[in-house]
Amino acid sequence: MLSKKKFDDWLNKSTTNNKIVYYRGYLCGSWLQKLSPIVDQTRVRAIQRHVYSAYELGAITLVQKKHADFDYEYIAVRI
């Protein structure tokens, strides 16, 4: 999982179409604890909110790549 500082550094230095994987796993796992427990729930939710706020500001778009059930790469793409 990427830290907020590393994400901000990438965001400030990135150019159009640059990509970064900010999380790998299953982001909804923190809400579905019975199916996919996450040890560090607070950090996962914090990076999720931080990245989503950049999306809301129009700086990035969000995509994901599925590897298997409950195994995704969550990717931010600079616009």
Q: Tell me the average confidence (pLDDT) per consecutive run of 10 residues in the chain, 79 residues long.
A: 94 97 82 58 88 98 95 96
Contact 23, 44 (CB under 8 A): yes
Rounded Cα distance between 79 and 71, Å, is 25
Question: Which pLDDT belongs to residue 70?
Answer: 85
| Domain count across the chain | 1
Phi, psi of 72 (to 5 degrees): -125, 155
Q: Which domain holds residue 55?
A: 4-78
Question: Which pLDDT belongs to residue 27?
Answer: 80
pTM: 0.85
Rounded Cα distance between 22 and 6, Å, is 9
